[in-house]
Structure 1
């Protein structure tokens, strides 16, 4: 898939309380919540110009969670694919730093099965949200290495690619955070070209066919501005893609080899990375409380064992 540097297509994944609404507002420089419900059980698409780059953001609810039925999952996945055609450049997995990473591994499993392993290792960036829950002088890397092996494992699965969504300061600092994220997405584009998958190829063909049908039905010339509206209408009516949800969400059956291929794997060099931290003997996962702040971390029941540091980027 060829990609123009003047356009970036992003897909935000995560539950309603993962900060998707704040992410959309920050990415597109909006003061208030955008039109459309990024928190509801629907996929929503937003567009805006950021630092001279046209950015399209598709916000998707956590269809990978147990809160959705098989029929709802199929509908949401079809909607996500249609709205993010011709294909996203990157998936942004919104992960709150103050909550246990329960559903996120399942999200990565689903992306891997739908779009192929490189969709996770090369095209997904972990976007840490709710950074205000950390102490003012607390460093994310130290927090993750010390307390949050679950978050560290997520980052490692995504090829070491992560970013923080810092909104408590706003203004110029928030703008720099967004610029940094877009720079990482551009690195993904340079290394992988973006996602390339039969599901997206089928979706783009359906959207184009529907777009042509709408234009023919109007029996009139369509301006460039009207063509974008026609495109959006076509995206809304294209769907019904065949997705084998039984294999993706079965707890007893191992998923088959992905039915799609992606461009070559590449690790985002500029993105932050976490070195492996091996579990120590007697160590188990649990909930801990630090100065009244609940987090999900590790409770050590044994002695010994050091830890590795973080890769600087």
Structure 2
């Protein structure tokens, strides 16, 4: 088999930051409710696995915490990576990297660096799809491809590393039919990526090790006397075996110390720190003034000093007024 058939099981690994106040991507794909996902803080900080049907396909979604965050404890990081590997063994059909369109993608870029070092370059170039979140920040008639080219070339570079594959599950107005189509289009992109890769699913040395460990644990859990074990019981045993593997030989800390931070590594650290603060402030502004204020803030940042602040404020105000007059004229 060279590709995932439409009716076969698709295994997806969701990586990245969760959307505050919104349904996680895993639940959006499978149509799960919050009560089915669990809301216990200790539970939500662990890798999780859910099965379901989506767009006529059997789908398994493995969701992993943001282990690539600098705030993640090294021991937890190793445990999270071992866990998502075992839960998605013998290998996923796609990694879905969640990236907010309104924030720095520095952490997600580093996650791709680590995936390449840990699992091999094809894990990123052939088997990863960027899943954009917070797309409500875009203007109503603004296309994602235009946004990437005009405003966020750093996000465009991230997409380029993933074979130019990207998608969003977010729709405006809560249209259920549009949400269903968004999920169906995502799964079609996953199947297309599998077809182009020429393999049934992604695999590498670590996934082979994870699968071997899972099978060993599975054999330990099944007694030879259990000759009449049902398919449902074997599935439960398999799930238990997968959850028990959390100590694979992953030397992630050496990767974190060796990989470069792109695409922002060429910028001085203090400028990127200011940019992150600016991005957080921009999210609280109305969309009409978002870009105009950004222009003014950048002028003030790079000119510097009291004069820079006054110049930035003036540029921002003029840009806002021009934008308002243009909007009124078009009405």
Query: Which TM-score bucket, shorter chain as reference?
Result: 0.7 to 0.9
Note if 1:59 corresponds to 2:63: yes
Match of 1:121 in 2: 125
How many angstroms apart in 2 are the aligned matches of 1:218 and 1:19? 49
Of 291, 299, 303, which residue of structure 1 is paired with 2:288?
Answer: 291
SS of the residue aligned with 1:291? Answer: helix
Partners in 1 of 2:292 and 2:61 — Cα distance? 29
Structure 2-normalised TM-score?
Answer: 0.74
Asked if the contact 1:98/1:295 (under 8 Å) is kept, the reply is no
Q: How does 1:245-260 map to 2 (within 5 A)?
A: 245-250=252-257, 253=258
2-structure distance, mates of 1:156, 1:7: 27
1:186-265 matched pairs, under 5 angstroms: 186-192=191-197, 193=199, 194-216=201-223, 219=226, 221-250=228-257, 253=258
Tell me the TM-score normalized by structure 1. Answer: 0.78
Cα gap change, 1:291 to 1:165, in 2 (>3 Å)? same
Gaps of 5+ in 2: 261-270, 303-331
Q: CA deviation at 1:156?
A: 0.9
> Post-superposition shift, 1:30?
2.7
2:172 equivalent to 1:181: no
Q: Is the 8 A contact 2:15 2:63 kept in 1?
A: yes
Q: 1:12 aligns with which of 11, 14, 20?
A: 14
For residue 293 of structure 1, report the CA deviation from its aligned partner: 3.7
For 2:31, the equivalent position in structure 1 comes to 29
Structure of greater Rg: 2
When residues 18 and 147 of structure 1 are mapped into structure 2, their CA distance, relative to the original with a 3 A threshold, is: farther
Unaligned runs of 5+ residues in structure 1 are 256-283, 302-313
- Cα pair 1:19 1:129 within 8 Å, conserved: no
- In the TM superposition, what is the alpha-carbon distance from 1:70 to its structure 2 partner? 1.3
Sort the Cα spacing of 1:233 and 1:35 in 2 relative to 1 into closer, same or farther, 3 A: same
Per the alignment, residue 110 of structure 1 pairs with 114
Higher strand proportion (structure 1 or 2): 1
Q: Is contact 1:27–1:50 with CA below 8 Å preserved after alignment?
A: yes
More helix by share: 2
